[in-house]
Structure 1
């Protein structure tokens, strides 16, 4: 079956939902949104603490794994990615972080006009409906609800006190004038419920006659006439379909699957495409390269008081109590999720801005999102904000249905190994602070088996380091001929084709990647509407 639209968007994730809303907003254009997963019916999606349930749920999660990682003891790292309306915004940790303003200044210096901090800040403001109201840094008219943690926690307050002891100031707004410091996150929640991009952007647009949303629709190949994209082939509940485009095809399948779809469609490294039996359309070797991710290092501590989420979830009474908190006041663990607070700090002597980020949770488990420990516990998760290590994502075969091969190459750069060691040392210093002495009774991980030498700390990182779910960069934006897309996110050398998602980031932002990806959707919608103005 075949149909024709002005725009076809492949992927209903953090950027795709934004594009579907903005491009269909004024009724001029007929838009098709394709999503390989289902509608966001699963109740666990909408309850913030349900993050622990969706982390391993095949219905809403692609459940990727990396190839064996050389610097992590040949371990294959689990990579959850959203397979549902809203994409990873429907299963993520709900944290509202933009990154540092210098991240975007760096993008601009790399030859990307339109992406400096002054260029992107209006779109960060535009996307927000922040409970704190409008200001120079925030908006209160946007689709995406941003809320404060509804209830401060005794343990998190002690962590803030411990960081203050180490000379780190309290920061009430990591998206405000400065990023350094310790404090509570803001969350992408609305009245105690998750506000994914499917909730924020698709729900208001769903009734539009010019917007068509197809779920269970997995793109398998881009269709071309010469060097112009004219449509996409996809499977709808297993049956082959085609959608043709009058204007542009937009790939918004994420940093893992956007490069894979380009590769199986003939855009990529010629030698690699020959190996997997894909006819070459255009030799573009950087497709799938430049992969970056934040390596998560999780230190865990036993807590001497029964005040953690582990305790809430360990008994029927505890579960009933937190359920009642949520039902009556939309407060408590059910309304927050996993992580409550953050610390942005500098561990390199020459750092001019934060180079590590901590996520603090009043919960502990052997794997992120897994069953909590049977004792009171807390997790200090720390990651390097701007790693130098680079990896790749390569289509494993000519079929888009086969999971791609993922090679993050964590810790392949010596500088990243040194930052990881310093980050663990800082976490241990924080745990030994006076403010935390009444709370932390034992270091569970790393534990006494790992000493304080560089070698011991690096061994711990290699044994337990894992993703914090921030892959970016695999369809890099740039002005140089090797870049995959230009600064308006058009695929170089191809007409009528753009990539719009986290894969276009030339370098990873200094923080969580969801909000920057929503901004990319907003910024790019503006480009598209400008480019097609007067051509309705």
Structure 2
């Protein structure tokens, strides 16, 4: 090993939070910033592969970590997370909905007042370039464009969903990012036009930012561990091919996502003492919350084999979404419903492929934004090239079973709308008689439940007296000087939305919190 030139900041992970962090911190030419990414980096649009540019399809194969998660004790599932500069913002479905103001007020009430809504709103505004709305709740000068689907852009399936939901009595909203918004309307999307996905890499890492002398981007490099000297972080150990090297820094910020971040901390000797010793890792700090508290949004739905001509291949997978309270929860917008134009059953929901007798299905999807079940990330090996173990432990809460069963009944009723039903050749598995049986609905939820790829909470923030907290409200790791976490790991609770915009905001917010460091 050889020591390299020291940096002021090393950021581990060039994803939804790491890229905003690097762009903002390196804006000060006095700061030397290194941004390390395990996947490839594509500096220009011309060099960017088609799967990353195509916002109409999630890219789940070419730029993926290849994780597997224990969904239920008897059922593993593929667990998609982006492995490329831009992270999951480069491969996801481009939905750009923020968390609700009350979500962040709850973070603040849990001992994190720096994350109250008035504190985070300016950072949402700073990252946005909203192409449709003005006013106090929308940004216009940020690096991430946000546009909504126009009426003439909707596919027939999406129009039928919108019509069916409105006919069922739900309110219309044209702006899902207004703090008081609820109901059904066009999804805000991270694109400038109807096709091209804009990731954090494309939005923040402009040619001018990449040209900064004080910013070093290192791609194709896997971080094994944080180098800890006594009770202080001093850099990272990096694997590039078969070579191992040490990079030194005054501050290390781990932004590798809710799966990889706890794995890096564990390999660094930071985590539950019993687990570290089980793997033969020297204990630097016994921190029980590392890897614990994994929260993931759960989804189920009504799957339909489309009629010939209604497949919508090549069209956006989703354009219209509905947010509303779950049955009996009294929690605004804790349930999310969408009409998904097509799922490739070879990739997602593969356990339904035999029943569907089709390669692709249309789906009326229901997502529980605030499930109560909690999982864990642990090490399968001390080798950083071996994926960590992810246990989602879905449906371990009886309340989650009830939430998803009630949501299934909602989408079943919507599926009976003539315009929606006329798009389908047949419905997979579900029938009127099955829906009349509570036991059968419960069995269907168990058989069909799947993750929404929004993992949070595996290094959550909280005050020093909180035994499960890993970082404080400045995202500094408790007990280790100079070590920070900035990604979905730190979220002390789910947000009632897809998490990508919130994770972007976390990168922006932590950059400000570190600004005077």
With the length of structure 1 as denominator, give the TM-score of the two structures.
0.89
Matched with 1:198 is: 201
Moved more, 12-21 or 435-444: 435-444
Matched with 1:109 is: 109
> Quick one: structure 1 residues 276 and 176, their matched pair in 2 at CA, closer, same or farther if it must change by over 3 Å?
same
Q: Contact 1:301 / 1:445 at 8 angstroms: preserved in 2?
A: no
> Quick one: structure 1 residues 373 and 153, their matched pair in 2 at CA, closer, same or farther if it must change by over 3 Å?
farther
Q: Contact 2:345 / 2:359 at 8 angstroms: preserved in 1?
A: no
* RMSD of aligned alpha carbons: 2.1
- For residues 206 and 241 of structure 1, what CA distance do their matches in structure 2 show? 23
> Quick one: structure 1 residues 342 and 368, their matched pair in 2 at CA, closer, same or farther if it must change by over 3 Å?
farther
Q: Contact 2:310 / 2:423 at 8 angstroms: preserved in 1?
A: no
- For residues 231 and 375 of structure 1, what CA distance do their matches in structure 2 show? 47
- For residues 3 and 116 of structure 1, what CA distance do their matches in structure 2 show? 38
Report the Cα offset of residue 261 of structure 1.
0.5
Report the Cα offset of residue 353 of structure 1.
0.9
Q: Secondary structure at the match of 1:357?
A: strand
- For residues 359 and 12 of structure 2, what CA distance do their matches in structure 1 show? 44
Q: 1:29 aligns with which of 28, 31, 36?
A: 31
- For residues 178 and 304 of structure 1, what CA distance do their matches in structure 2 show? 38
Q: Contact 1:100 / 1:179 at 8 angstroms: preserved in 2?
A: no
Moved more, 353-362 or 416-425: 353-362
Superimposed CA distance per residue, residues 159-205 of structure 1 (whole angstroms, 9 cap, x where no aligned partner): 12211222211111111142421111011112331100010111241
Q: Secondary structure at the match of 1:3?
A: coil
Q: Secondary structure at the match of 2:428?
A: strand
- For residues 354 and 187 of structure 1, what CA distance do their matches in structure 2 show? 18
Q: Contact 2:149 / 2:319 at 8 angstroms: preserved in 1?
A: yes
- For residues 187 and 293 of structure 1, what CA distance do their matches in structure 2 show? 22
Report the Cα offset of residue 121 of structure 1.
1.1
| 1:338-417 to 2 correspondences below 5 Å | 338-366=317-345, 378-417=362-401
- For residues 280 and 108 of structure 2, what CA distance do their matches in structure 1 show? 37
1:470 aligns with 2:438: no
Q: Contact 1:47 / 1:194 at 8 angstroms: preserved in 2?
A: yes
Q: Contact 1:294 / 1:467 at 8 angstroms: preserved in 2?
A: yes
Report the Cα offset of residue 49 of structure 1.
2.9
1:263 aligns with 2:263: no
Matched with 2:414 is: 430
Q: Which runs of 5+ in 2 are unaligned?
A: 43-47
| 1:238-277 to 2 correspondences below 5 Å | 238-246=242-250, 248-277=251-280
> Quick one: structure 1 residues 75 and 491, their matched pair in 2 at CA, closer, same or farther if it must change by over 3 Å?
same
- For residues 403 and 295 of structure 2, what CA distance do their matches in structure 1 show? 16
1:497 aligns with 2:476: no
Matched with 2:8 is: 6
Superimposed CA distance per residue, residues 238-294 of structure 1 (whole angstroms, 9 cap, x where no aligned partner): 311111112x10000000010111111111000111101101011101100010001
Q: Contact 1:95 / 1:185 at 8 angstroms: preserved in 2?
A: yes
Superimposed CA distance per residue, residues 298-355 of structure 1 (whole angstroms, 9 cap, x where no aligned partner): 3222445724414xx6xxxxxxxxxxxxxxxxxxx2xxx3221111122332414122
- For residues 297 and 207 of structure 1, what CA distance do their matches in structure 2 show? 45
- For residues 198 and 3 of structure 1, what CA distance do their matches in structure 2 show? 25
Q: Secondary structure at the match of 1:205?
A: helix
Moved more, 267-276 or 372-381: 372-381
Q: 1:487 aligns with which of 473, 482, 488?
A: 473
- Count of paired positions: 499
Report the Cα offset of residue 443 of structure 1.
1.6
Report the Cα offset of residue 383 of structure 1.
1.2
Moved more, 467-476 or 191-200: 191-200
Report the Cα offset of residue 50 of structure 1.
4.3
Q: Contact 1:31 / 1:211 at 8 angstroms: preserved in 2?
A: yes
Report the Cα offset of residue 118 of structure 1.
1.5
- For residues 432 and 380 of structure 2, what CA distance do their matches in structure 1 show? 42
With the length of structure 2 as denominator, give the TM-score of the two structures.
0.92
Q: 1:282 aligns with which of 281, 285, 290?
A: 285
> Quick one: structure 1 residues 285 and 442, their matched pair in 2 at CA, closer, same or farther if it must change by over 3 Å?
same
| 1:439-458 to 2 correspondences below 5 Å | 439-446=423-430, 450-458=434-442
> Quick one: structure 1 residues 399 and 449, their matched pair in 2 at CA, closer, same or farther if it must change by over 3 Å?
farther
Superimposed CA distance per residue, residues 358-406 of structure 1 (whole angstroms, 9 cap, x where no aligned partner): 1222224325568998699521111111111111101122232221111
